[in-house]
Amino acid sequence: MQVQDTPEEWQVVATTTPFTGNKTSVRTDDVVMPDGAVVRRDYQVHPGSVAVLALDDQDRVVLLKQYRHPVRQKLWEIPAGLLDVPGENPLHAAQRELYEEAHVKAEDWRVLTDVYTTPGGCDEAVRIFLARGLSEAEGERYEVAEEEADMELSRVPLDQLVRGVLAGELHNNCLVVGVLSLVAARAGDGLDALRPADAPWPARPFEA
């Protein structure tokens, strides 16, 4: 049996958008179930995101510590951000986020994994990249504001992050998935066997 997610779209007989925010919205769909019943489903409509697990030559990961108001915690995270423009190339967005949040550039980029963060209540799709060959970016640092003005930047050994994830001390979705995916890739076919940075992404199609 092949274990693989497959596209499918059940009939929607009515849809409304009761809330529209700056970047996301809430949609309400009336969906026809297999038994013919119609049920209402509310979910957040999201433009999609990219995240970057940036690994240096000392096997350390570039991390940011940022306040997240919904969970009332400061979380250690890997650099990440929204796809600001429909059809935006995710690699370009990831390179931008790594520069803006960490003032770092990378020579080698691979797709580490693609995930839906909370598919029961949000259509957000995230592509997590692995970036290697790190160096300091040129030019002025990006000017930050709001929560980002309080961010803490650090480089943390990968093995320490694995222990923190398994101990329940680290909770950010992209950090957890990225760290464990990296360890799994190393234990499997190796990092050079990862998908190229421009690999297709059906959840958020883009132009090269």
Give the tens place of pLDDT for each residue, 84-122.
Answer: 888 899 999 999 999 999 999 999 999 999 999 999 999
In this prediction, residues 10-16 reach a mean pLDDT of: 98
Average pLDDT, the chain: 94
Closest CA to 61 of 196, 182, 169, 198: 182
CA distance 95 to 100: 9
CA 100 → CA 1, 3, 60, 77, 78, distances in Å? 44, 37, 19, 14, 12
Query: pLDDT confidence of 144, banded at 50, 70, 90?
Result: low
Q: According to the model, what pLDDT value does residue 87 have?
A: 87
pLDDT tens figures, 154-164: 999 999 999 99
In this prediction, residues 59-78 reach a mean pLDDT of: 97
Kindly report the backbone phi and psi dihedral angles of residue 139, in degrees, each rounded to the nearest multiple of 5, phi listed first. 85, -175
Question: Parallel, antiparallel, or unpaired for β 125-136 and 49-54?
Answer: parallel
- Contacting residues for 14 by C-beta, under 8 A, at least 6 apart: 29, 30
Residue type, 22: N
Query: pLDDT confidence of 147, banded at 50, 70, 90?
Result: low
CA 147 → CA 92, 100, 123, distances in Å? 23, 14, 24
Q: Given the residues 77, 147, 148, 152, select the one marked as catalytic.
A: 148
Question: Parallel, antiparallel, or unpaired for β 152-157 and 80-82?
Answer: unpaired
Q: Please indicate whether residue 101 is annotated as part of the active site.
A: no
By CB neighbour count within 10 A (0-12 exposed, 13-18 middle, 19+ buried), where does 120 fall?
exposed
Strand partners, 163: none
pLDDT tens figures, 119-134: 999 999 999 999 999 9
CA distance 185 to 50: 19
pTM of the model: 0.94
